[in-house]
Amino acid sequence: MRFPAALGAASASLFLAGLASAQTPDSAAPAADPAASAPDAVAPAAAPAPAAPAVVVVPNEPDQPVLEPIPSAHDTLGHHFVIGGAFGAKWPFGSLVNGAKQNQSLGAGLALNLDLGFGVSRNVVLGVWGEFDDFSSPSACPSCSTKSFAGGPFLRYHIVQGTRFDPWGAIALGLRQTKLDPGAGNATSSFFGPDWLRLTLGGDWYPLANLGIGPYVEFDVGAYNSHPGSAGVALHTGLGTGLRVVLDFPGK
């Protein structure tokens, strides 16, 4: 009888112990470590490395069209006939004969010029020129009347193309004859010789295709080899300026 009673008492003790453990809540979880749960501290960022220079890659374009050359300006002078006429003033210097200055017998004069040229290229004109000078009487010889004739070939260079204003420079040579009438029944004296150099600078403004007008200035150097009553060579010079009118065919 004691054994069944003891067994029953043991079974009741186990039952009560299991019931108590079932009703007791689980032990609280240990508190988390704040240091463990906190996120790792952010390390300071390192300074950026200097950027490498940018490399520009130019693609090869074999199919790019070839550029055409720019054409030259229109030729407004080649194969043109150019006729020029000018009038102005001229001042003589130098000598008529050895020991006799020109300004003792010649005063300032009226100069008339004519030139005929042909354009051999877009810048160059070749032609012939002629000049007539009618000099006034100086105070040293009030009765003197002097006239001079000259002419020869020239070469003229035109600087620009395709503009209304056409600047140019010319170089020429020729022959000159000067006749001096002292008046008062005295015989006329004739002086003859070469013009070694004749330089002219000018510019023509073309208001119309065939008509131009502009100023000019010229300087000539020559000698009288043939003159009465004196031997040797007498050097003379002249300076002139005036206005020139030009006709161009077939036109600019």
Distance CA 122, CA 5 (A): 148
Closest by CA position to 250, among listed 127, 71, 83, 73:
83
Taking only the tens place, the pLDDT of each residue in 82-141 is 999 999 999 999 998 877 888 888 999 999 999 999 999 999 999 999 999 999 999 888
Using CB atoms within 10 A of its CB, is residue 17 exposed (0-12), middle (13-18) or buried (19+)? exposed
β pairing state of 234-249 and 81-97: antiparallel
At residue 32, does pLDDT exceed 70? Answer: no
Let me know if residue 54 belongs to a domain: no
Using CB atoms within 10 A of its CB, is residue 205 exposed (0-12), middle (13-18) or buried (19+)? middle
The tokens describing 192, both together, are 């003859």
Phi/psi at 145 (5° precision): -135, 120
Let me know if residue 220 belongs to a domain: yes
The tokens describing 137, both together, are 């009487």
**Domain containing residue 155:** 81-249
Let me know if residue 212 belongs to a domain: yes
Let me know if residue 17 belongs to a domain: no
The tokens describing 174, both together, are 């020729």
Let me know if residue 18 belongs to a domain: no
Task: Name 16's bridge partners.
Answer: none
Let me know if residue 91 belongs to a domain: yes
What is the average pLDDT across 65-75? Answer: 75
Q: What's the pLDDT band for 39 if we cut at 50, 70, 90? A: very low
Higher-confidence position of 76 and 228: 76
Question: Tell me, what's the pLDDT at 140?
Answer: 84
Let me know if residue 45 belongs to a domain: no
Domain total for the chain?
1
Distance CA 222, CA 172 (A): 12
Higher-confidence position of 6 and 197: 197
Let me know if residue 49 belongs to a domain: no
β pairing state of 100-101 and 189-205: unpaired
| CATH at 95 | 2.40.160.20
Give the DSSP per-residue string, 84-144: EEEEEEEEEEEEEETTEEGGGT---EEEEEEEEEEESSSSEEEEEEEEEEEEPPPTT-TT-
Q: What's the pLDDT band for 216 if we cut at 50, 70, 90? A: very high
Q: Find out whether 147 and 173 touch, Cβ atoms under 8 Å.
A: no
The tokens describing 10, both together, are 């043991």
The tokens describing 190, both together, are 């004739």
Distance CA 136, CA 106 (A): 6
